[in-house]
Structure 1
Amino acid sequence: MKNFEECFSDIQTDMISICLEYVENRANKVYLYASCEGDIISSNFFYNINHKYVKKHKLNDAIHLGEEGYDVSTERQFEVLDIINKDVEKIKKLCEECDREMPTELKLIYDVISGELQAEYKYELVYLKDAVKTANTIANEWFEELKQKGL
């Protein structure tokens, strides 16, 4: 039987795997944002491709001449988001079953070349305490921050 950490890690791996599938494993890095505050589950993902930071619907802005384009259809984007959100629900259930605190925010960075995963978690309210921001606002701010820092 797997322990909490192994189960938690498996779910995160699934989240990154679906993002890699979406980008056909053609990215330098995968960035995944997920949040769970109250009854609201939200997620977003973006990439570093050919050393350019791109959101999920702008993947083709990063390809070089002659490279095959990506399928960035709205349907595919929603399929990935749906899977990620279901994974967040699995994490929530796992935390409840194991009497662990549920993170309100997960930021995952997967380096495709090295295979290294960095994870950052928050446990306090992030956007429900701020009437101006939404989970999407926070994800977009993170995207801009990473882009500026070149991480």
Structure 2
Amino acid sequence: MKEFEDRFTELQADMISICMEFVEDRADRVYVYASYEESIISSRFFYLINNNYVKSHRLNDAIEDGVKKYDVSPERGFQVLDTINDDIEKIKVLCEEFGKDMPTEMKLIFDVKSGGFKAEYKYEPVYTNHDTKTARQIADEWFEEIKSNNL
């Protein structure tokens, strides 16, 4: 069982790590939304920087004048999403290998200052059973929830 947990944790840590690399380790908190439903893989990531909740493409909205700007090019953003999606795929393979249920949704929060890590998992369908909602909408709703509750 330890091997499963270690590898599962390692893959989640890789998701956080690539997000930290994207933000050049200049964030207070990192948020990763990872989803796998009916073979649909989806992910999003956003940050808390200087008391501002920002999506990855809006990082420069959160910095003070004179501070080095972030490279928020679409190419870099897609590289991060590709890495996260690869990790989701690896988690799926890992769960199959160990006979575990694959989470349909993972919400990961990493507090950079404290080193604290929090994860929430769901195992039932979140959007594939919904007439109009998509994984992106669910991720956007989580962003708004985090932002309005200062989590």
Q: TM-score, normalised by structure 2?
A: 0.98
Q: For residue 29 of structure 1, what is the aligned residue in structure 2?
A: 29
Inter-partner Cα distance in structure 2 for 1:104 and 1:2: 22
Q: What pairs with 1:57-68 in structure 2 (closer than 5 Å)?
A: 57-68=57-68
> How many angstroms apart in 2 are the aligned matches of 1:5 and 1:132?
35
Shift of 1:66: 1.3
In the alignment, residue 36 of structure 1 is paired with which amino acid? Answer: Y
Provide the residue aligned with 1:86 in structure 2. 86
Is 1:77 the equivalent of 2:48? Answer: no
Pairwise CA distance, 1:2: 5.7
Q: 2: CA distance between counterparts of 1:2 and 1:18?
A: 24
Query: Number of residues paired by the alignment?
Result: 151
Q: Could you list the runs of 4 or more consecutive aligned residues of structure 1 that deviate by over 2 angstroms after TM superposition?
A: none
Partner of 1:147: 147
Distance (Å, rounded) in 1 between the aligned partners of 2:79 and 2:2: 28
Give the equivalent residue in structure 2 for 1:129: 129
User: How far apart, in 1, do the equivalents of 2:27 and 2:35 lie?
Assistant: 23
* SS of the residue 1:3 aligns to: helix
Tell me the CA shift for residue 8 of structure 1.
Answer: 0.3
Percent identity over the alignment is 62
Compute the RMSD of aligned alpha carbons. Answer: 1.0
For residues 124 and 131 of structure 1, what CA distance do their matches in structure 2 show? 16
